[in-house]
Structure 1
Amino acid sequence: MTASRTALLPRPRAAEVPPALTGTRRPWVTALRTLACGAAAAGPAITLATGSTPPPLVHFTVLANLLVAVAFGWSAVRSWRGAPQLPPRLTGGVLLLAAITGLMHHLVLANYAETPAPTSGWPLAATVLLHTVTPSAVAADWLLLTAPRTLRPAHIPLWLTAPAAYLALTLTRGALLAPGSPDRYPYPFLDVDTYGYAGTLAQALALGLLFTALATLITAADHLRPDVAGRIEHRRNRISPPAAGGLK
């Protein structure tokens, strides 16, 4: 009797799981992020294979692209497994690094006669990948595949630790090399031999303020942009055929 009453009782409904934790795979997102990861890794790989002066790993651009490749590779794996996306404090930092890489090259470094841009061959391919393709891919991912209104001003100090760490690395490396060594400083605005430590740090501070303004602009834009990713996901769910229901 007890067993029959138990069988007649309604079964408790399973707790609803947030969409980000349902384990739903997103193959098309995985494919796009895998391509972005490949582009971000290809630039440094070509640079290392062909050789450059100063050494490739001294360049902020190369290091930033390697970080982008790691982040997008990790994000692609999570999309394939249906895991939640990377937290905004990381994706926003990657976006800022990519933006710095693209803008500094096209607006600042391209104007220096001491560093002429390559015009053909593998060096040109590496330059395009490092300074144009990767920043564009990161920006497209942010605009099309991530939810808006997730970046916070409190994230900005964390994002700026990467440029600050690079500055410390560059100045330390320059101090360890003998004065007059070729390629002692990878960028002309960080050349202590030319500007001295006071002038170099003043220029670095000015760049830091510009990077802070850029990070603030990105954060503000994130709160104003439309939810393209949500619209795409909603449209995909509407097009998908409904699952077959049980017999009644």
Structure 2
Amino acid sequence: MTAPIPREIPGLPALPVKRPGLLPSPVPARAVMAPVRRPYAAAYRLALALTATGAVTVEIVLGSPTRILSHFAVQSTALLAVVTFATARRSWTGRQPLPGKLTGAALLYVMITGLVHHLLLAGAPPAYALSDAPSGPATLAAHILHTAVPVAALLDWLLLTPPARTHLRHTATWMLYPLAYLAFSLTRGELLPGNPARYLYPFLDVTQHGYKGVLGNALLLGLAFYALAVLLVVVDHTRPNPVRRRPKTGFRLRAPVG
């Protein structure tokens, strides 16, 4: 009688099972996929960028340029205009959109501008107004900066921008600009000791609240800004895709014969 053949031979290592993997393609995706142009999105974004640029220009021409450019509202709107010009061009040419880290930051800053203006500056004294001597065009430009531009930017993000392009790791980076603006505002106030407009926002006015009060206000605002940034990321990952398109297979269905 013959001995049974063992299923496993002791002392011999098992042969590794290698599964064939996909080799990385040296050809980028845009070389095999036709670019998708979005002329309507490009037109909307171009109009938004021109409106924001016009409002900033009117405020600079009618007011003191150095004072106007020191406002958070003007700086954030100028940043949004630059970013929106770039997104409009990419929508028109069909190129890849800008990184969500950049577009999300621009949206967050103009949202902060609108919310702070309507919630904290509605009853502020005239000394904290955007323009020294508000006129008709300056008042209209201020409304555009604080209301129309934030709303239009939010609509662009909700209706024309693909979702899930921002991440929670971006929120900490987005807080660097408000922190830098706080340092800029305090430094500007120290460099203009006799100027009545040394502080542009009442909650950052050291002459009224002292450094302890201003830093407390800045801490509360910073937490609110961070919560707003987290909310934008959460909404970005839960909202539907407004630009979803049906894939084209290249096949056409024909009516059955007979």
Mapped to 2, the partners of 1:98 and 1:80 lie a distance apart of 24
- Distance apart, 1:20 and its partner CA: 11
Equivalent residue, structure 1, for 2:15: none
Return the index of the structure with the highest Cα Rg: 2
- Distance apart, 1:72 and its partner CA: 0.4
- Distance apart, 1:117 and its partner CA: 9.0
Distance verdict in 2 for CA 1:212–1:21, change over 3 Å: farther
- Distance apart, 1:26 and its partner CA: 2.0
Confirm or deny: 8 A CA contact 2:166 2:233 kept in the other structure.
yes
Equivalent residue, structure 1, for 2:240: 226
Aligned Cα root-mean-square deviation (Å) = 2.8
Distance verdict in 2 for CA 1:198–1:116, change over 3 Å: closer
SS of the aligned residue for 2:122 comes to helix
- Normalised by the length of structure 2, the TM-score is 0.78
The one-letter code of the counterpart of 2:217 is: Q
Unaligned runs of 5+ in 1: 1-14, 244-248
Distance verdict in 2 for CA 1:77–1:197, change over 3 Å: same
- Distance apart, 1:225 and its partner CA: 1.1
Mapped to 2, the partners of 1:63 and 1:80 lie a distance apart of 26
Q: 2:90 aligns with which of 70, 74, 78?
A: 78
| 1:160-198 deviation digits (Å, cap 9, x = unpaired) | 1111111111111111122x4210111111111111212
The one-letter code of the counterpart of 1:147 is: P
- Distance apart, 1:137 and its partner CA: 1.3
- Distance apart, 1:127 and its partner CA: 1.4
Unaligned runs of 5+ in 2: 1-26, 253-258
Alignment partner of 1:106 is 2:118: yes
Equivalent residue, structure 1, for 2:151: 136
Give 1:31-46 correspondences, 5 Å limit: 31-46=43-58
- Normalised by the length of structure 1, the TM-score is 0.81
Mapped to 2, the partners of 1:183 and 1:123 lie a distance apart of 18
Q: How many residues align?
A: 222
Distance verdict in 2 for CA 1:222–1:77, change over 3 Å: same
SS of the aligned residue for 2:162 comes to coil
Mapped to 2, the partners of 1:146 and 1:154 lie a distance apart of 20
| 1:7-61 deviation digits (Å, cap 9, x = unpaired) | xxxxxxxx78359964332222211110010111111111011115981011100
The one-letter code of the counterpart of 1:188 is: P
Equivalent residue, structure 2, for 1:208: 222
Distance verdict in 2 for CA 1:91–1:20, change over 3 Å: farther
Percent of pairs identical after alignment? 42
The one-letter code of the counterpart of 1:177 is: L
Alignment partner of 1:168 is 2:180: no
The one-letter code of the counterpart of 2:211 is: Y
Confirm or deny: 8 A CA contact 1:88 1:150 kept in the other structure.
yes
Mapped to 2, the partners of 1:40 and 1:112 lie a distance apart of 24
Give 1:1-248 correspondences, 5 Å limit: 17=29, 22-51=34-63, 55-114=67-126, 115=128, 121-178=136-193, 180-230=194-244, 233-234=245-246
Distance verdict in 2 for CA 1:19–1:32, change over 3 Å: farther
Confirm or deny: 8 A CA contact 2:168 2:233 kept in the other structure.
yes
SS of the aligned residue for 1:83 comes to coil
Confirm or deny: 8 A CA contact 1:36 1:134 kept in the other structure.
yes
Higher helix share: 1
SS of the aligned residue for 2:198 comes to coil
Mapped to 2, the partners of 1:183 and 1:20 lie a distance apart of 57
